[in-house]
Amino acid sequence: MTVVTDVADLQALAKRRVPKMFYDYADTGSWTQSTYHENEAALQRQKLRQRVARNIDNRSVKTTMIGQDVAMPVALAPVGLTGMQHADGEILAAQAAEEFGVPFTLSTMSICSIEDVAENTKSPFWFQLYVMRDRGFSERLMQRAHTAGCSALVLTLDLQVLGQRHRDLKNGLSAPPKPKPLVLADLALKPRWCWNMLKTGRRQFGNIHGHVSGVDDMSSLAEWTNSQFDPSLDWSSVEWVKKHWDRKLILKGINDVEDAKIAADIGADAIVVSNHGGRQLDGALASYEVLGDIVDAVGDRIEVHFDGGIRSGQDIFKAVAMGAHSTYIGRAFIYGLGAMGKDGVTKVLEILHKELDVTMGLCGETDIANVGRHNLVL
């Protein structure tokens, strides 16, 4: 195996080790995937101003996110089915994040449950909520997250209906995978994944399975889940969530200046400028393309977080320089997890940290707090 030097190396390894349907689930966008690819391309197009002969000894990329100390301006984004990229994936990723000193966000659609992750970590993590048609269930989810000590709720607003991802339909995505001939042939090539999966009991949607009456087997679970995303979700639903959650609230999936203003008026603690990693509205602007305008509109009233397309420390630096308070990584950590489990997530964090630190130095800065648009070629 060649030496792992960047996120792309881990992605290549994950592609070899993770069953096709789950690798494809991560490495995909909706419809033509134009927004998915633009997220990365927009960051690539941004050029940096290199500065020289400045004392760049003693650098620090430490900062805070919603008042919490973090080792760098990065959190692990909520990613559904993380426990299908690697057995017990949510627990392993949360442990890696905890040890590195960055927040971990557990998806509603996780395999390991809120309680599973809480039992296997020491510090509070964040919980991402999808508001379901069954509001009683959503309320119970918030209570469970509260009891588990989650310090922030990340409310996702951009998935009232699902953007179609062709590969998931073609692959017959399900958790656990259905034993069809093509799937079995693929699994035979992924013995490490199968062995780890056989050793764990966590193979269903942990936050849902056993928590909704009448939903006890795989097909009723899938049916219930698909019918539960709520197209009627609106800003009054956000107020409703706010009433039921007395800790930090982050609104995720903001991609428009007008929506950012409403989110700031509502009194959330942060917004995440995000288009769900290009998995929802194909044709929407790349996250990085809307970031600057949103920062200008609400950046003095609310923490503006950012995700979409981050694959390197240079990308993190660009987002922060454009005015993001901090960033999230989705696929980058998922590839690390699929490639090497917990060690792979740690490796991704180490790679990003080093790239961010060196990039900051070469731009002539020593403290991430001083990074700004003056570092960008605009």
Ligand X SMILES: Cc1cc2nc3c(=O)[nH]c(=O)nc-3n(C[C@H](O)[C@H](O)[C@H](O)COP(=O)(O)O)c2cc1C
Binding mask 21-60 for ligand X (x = CB under 6 A): ----xx------------x---------------------
Spatial distance between the Cα atoms of 331 and 311, rounded to a whole number of angstroms:
8
Spatial distance between the Cα atoms of 169 and 28, rounded to a whole number of angstroms:
12
Verify binding: residue 274, ligand X, rule CB under 6 A. Answer: yes
Which one of the listed residues 276, 305, 325, 353 is annotated catalytic? 276
Residue type, position 135, single letter: R
Minimum gap (Å) between residue 370 Cβ and ligand X: 25
Q: Is residue 328 a known part of a binding site? A: no
**Residue span binding ligand X (CB under 6 A) among the ranges 9-17, 112-120, 324-332, 361-369:** 324-332
**Residue span binding ligand X (CB under 6 A) among the ranges 163-171, 183-191, 323-331, 346-354:** 323-331
Q: Is residue 107 a known part of a binding site? A: yes
Contact 272, 305 (CB under 8 A): yes
Tell me how many degrees the CA angle 214-148-240 measures, rounded to the nearest 5: 70
Where are the alpha helices (H) located in 101-165, listed in sequence order? Answer: 114-119, 135-147
Tokens 């998922």 correspond to: 334
Where are the alpha helices (H) located in the chain, listed in sequence order? Answer: 7-17, 20-26, 34-45, 82-85, 89-100, 114-119, 135-147, 166-171, 181-188, 191-199, 218-228, 235-244, 257-266, 287-298, 313-322, 331-362
Verify binding: residue 338, ligand X, rule CB under 6 A. Answer: no
Supply 27's token pair: 């490495």
Minimum gap (Å) between residue 364 Cβ and ligand X: 27
Verify binding: residue 19, ligand X, rule CB under 6 A. Answer: no
Contact 287, 275 (CB under 8 A): yes
Candidates 18, 66, 77, 251; binder of ligand X (CB under 6 A) is: 77
Which residue number places its CB atom closest to ligand X?
A: 330
Minimum gap (Å) between residue 173 Cβ and ligand X: 10
Catalytic, 276? Answer yes
* DSSP structure string for 171-197: HT--SSPP--HHHHHHHHT-HHHHHHH
**Residue span binding ligand X (CB under 6 A) among the ranges 78-86, 88-96, 161-169, 344-352:** 78-86
**Residue span binding ligand X (CB under 6 A) among the ranges 13-21, 197-205, 257-265, 275-283:** 275-283
Spatial distance between the Cα atoms of 49 and 378, rounded to a whole number of angstroms:
10
Candidates 9, 19, 73, 80; binder of ligand X (CB under 6 A) is: 80
- Name the DSSP class of 368: G
Which spans of this chain sit near ligand X (rule: CB under 6 A)? 25-26, 39, 77-80, 107, 109, 128, 156, 252, 274, 276-277, 279, 307-310, 329-332
Catalytic residues: 276
Sequence ranges of the binding site for glyoxylate: 25, 165, 276, 279
Sequence ranges of the binding site for FMN: 78-80, 107, 128, 130, 156, 252, 274, 307-311, 330-331
